Amino acid sequence: GQNIDQPTEMTATEGAIVQINCTYQTSGFNGLFWYQQHAGEAPTFLSYNVLDGLEEKGRFSSFLSRSKGYSYLLLKELQMKDSASYLCAVMDSNYQLIWGAGTKLIIKP
């Protein structure tokens, strides 16, 4: 079967760095996405990785290792507004998105 695993909840301090991990087992791979979803709102696109390595975009970076079936989202200089759920999703061989359950990130002052 297809499976995406990410921690249910994480807590971090304002100004710090946090890494949210995602491991996956899917039938085929056509890229991995990270989305941010604030409570009561729809997801917003953060990043897309299809090749191994680190993609940096401002305070957010996303890493992919296809051989390990592993990705992480790194958030630096955390701000209170970063409190949200972070969704990992993998596009399988049929170009369907397989969604993780999301990681709720709580930022404390």
Partner 1 sequence: GAVVSQHPSRVICKSGTSVKIECRSLDFQATTMFWYRQFPKKSLMLMATSNEGSKATYEQGVEKDKFLINHASLTLSTLTVTSAHPEDSSFYICSARGQGQLTQETQYFGPGTRLLVL
Would you mind telling me the total number of residues written for the chain in this entry?
Answer: 109
Asked whether the beta carbons of 17 and 32 are under 8 A apart, the reply is no
CA–CA separation, 50 vs 104, rounded Å? 24
Q: Which is nearer to partner 1, 81 or 95 (CB)?
A: 95
Q: Which is nearer to partner 1, 51 or 109 (CB)?
A: 51
Least distance in angstroms from the C-beta of 59 to partner 1: 19
Least distance in angstroms from the C-beta of 101 to partner 1: 4
Binding site for partner 1 (CB under 8 A): 30-31, 33, 35, 40-45, 48, 87, 91, 95-97, 99-102
Q: Which is nearer to partner 1, 54 or 101 (CB)?
A: 101
In a 13 Å sphere around the CA of 48, the CA atoms on its Cβ side amount to: 7
Least distance in angstroms from the C-beta of 78 to partner 1: 22
Neighbours of 61 (CB within 10 A): 17
Least distance in angstroms from the C-beta of 17 to partner 1: 26
Strands 70-75 and 84-91: unpaired
Asked whether the beta carbons of 77 and 65 are under 8 A apart, the reply is no
Q: Which is nearer to partner 1, 78 or 87 (CB)?
A: 87
